[in-house]
Each structure stands twice: as C-alpha cells, then as structure tokens.
Amino acid sequence: MIPAIEGSEVPPLGWRLVLGLGNPGADYAGTRHNVGFDTLDLCAIRLGLTWQREQNVLLAEIPEARCTLVKPLTYMNRSGVALRQSWLHYELSDPSQIFVITDDFHLPLGGLRIRAEGSPGGHNGLASIEEQLGCQEYPRLRIGVGEPGRNSVEFVLTTFSAAEKDVIEETLMTSSWIVEDWVKGVSLEDLQAQYNRRKPQAGSTGE
C-alpha cells in the first residue's frame, strides 16, 4: 500500500499526477488497451512537452501547473508499481492528487465516464492501482472502446477498425481536453457535467 507522507495534510493544489494506462512497445501501439497512453501523447504534443524515462515510467512534467503526465512501463497488470514510484518521487499524500485514464469495454465506443471512485470492474490495471492505494477513491476517466464479445482479453489488444477511426480519434482528442482541464484545476463535478457521455455527439469532431 502507498504510504501517506508522515505529518502532511492534503495540499489544495499540491503536485498531481495524470496516469495514462497502457502497455509499452510497438506491438501494443494503437490498441484499445492503450487509449490512456494515446490521450497523454495528444496532451504532450499540444503542450510541447518532452517525455523523460525514469526507471518504470515515462514522465512529462508541467511545472507551472505542478502536474506530471505519467505512462507506466510496467505493463498493464502492474500499473500500480509505476504509480507507487511516482507517488513517492513527488511526495503525494492523497489519492485525489491522481487522475487515471483507462480503457473500458463496458462503455460503448466513444463513451466517456469521469468518476471520483469505483471498483476496477475487471480491469487489471485499475486493480493493481487499487492494491497500491488501498482504496477505490481516486479520480478516473474511463474511455469506451466497444463491446468485446466473448474474449475480452484478446479484444483489448486489438487495434481499431477503419470504421471506428473517426469515432476514436474524436474521443481521444476530447479525452485529452479533459486531462488539460483537470490539470488546470477544473473540478470533477464540472468535468462530469461537460464531458460524461454514453456515445459521441452526432457531428462531433476532434478539431
């Protein structure tokens, strides 16, 4: 379990982490399981950030916002190990200081759901994070990647089809805006009101 910093209280605007879940390596690039990575990549490009490797993670710091984008290199099932490393490095003290971006095959393709807490729902990356935190109360954005059918393990490791391209591109761009708003300090309640949806709005684009 991740320890709290001894004698500390939760700072209202202390250093924060955005953890985008995924698997490292070319074999997993563009897969449904990697939408967390893809969301942070869009943020990094738009903000002109550079990724730096630190042991089990890739980091892109936003010093003026006291926030760091984090991509675990531990593979999905050990995402909590990467979180623990960054948690201790930045001396975090409360789960509200992290924002996790993850895929969700329980949501239709293009669906977005921001929550302040919740169960892993069968997601091994979230289960690993919960194991390290010792709780389920941490902010997260779930990105709908479509219905898996009978084999969810194989499904999340597939890439998106040509027919799904426009929807997922818009969804990832919108997800990156959500991350930027959270980094700026927009409340979860306001993010939920603006962005939560079961499917993309008709005619929406990533521009």
pLDDT at 202: 55
pLDDT band at 101 (very low <50, low <70, confident <90, very high): very high
| pLDDT tens-digit map of 117-157 | 999 988 999 999 999 999 999 999 999 999 998 889 899 99
Give how many domains the chain has, as a whole number.
1
32 lies in a domain? no
> Among 3, 41, 1, which residue's Cα sits nearest to residue 21?
41
Assess contact for 132 and 2: CB atoms under 8 A. yes
pLDDT at 122: 86
Active-site residue (options: 33, 89, 106, 123) = 33
Q: How far apart are CA 63 and CA 58, in angstroms?
A: 16
176 lies in a domain? yes
pLDDT band at 112 (very low <50, low <70, confident <90, very high): very high
138: containing domain: 37-64+93-195
Q: How far apart are CA 114 and CA 191, in angstroms?
A: 7
pLDDT at 149: 83
> Among 94, 143, 79, which residue's Cα sits nearest to residue 71?
79
pLDDT at 150: 84
Residue 207 predicted with pLDDT over 80: no
132 lies in a domain? yes
Compute the average pLDDT of residues 108-113. Answer: 97
148 lies in a domain? yes
Residue 83 predicted with pLDDT over 50: yes
89 catalytic residue (yes or no): no
pLDDT at 175: 98
Residue type, 185: G
pLDDT at 9: 46
Q: How far apart are CA 21 and CA 115, in angstroms?
A: 16
22 lies in a domain? no
21 lies in a domain? no
pLDDT band at 6 (very low <50, low <70, confident <90, very high): low
> Among 30, 202, 51, which residue's Cα sits nearest to residue 103?
30
Residue 204 predicted with pLDDT over 90: no
- Residue 100's domain is classified under what CATH number? 3.40.50.1470
Tokens standing for 70?
């984090």
Compute the average pLDDT of residues 181-191. Answer: 96
Assess contact for 15 and 149: CB atoms under 8 A. no
Q: Average pLDDT, whole number, for the chain?
A: 92
81 lies in a domain? no
> Among 176, 21, 2, 171, which residue's Cα sits nearest to residue 97?
2
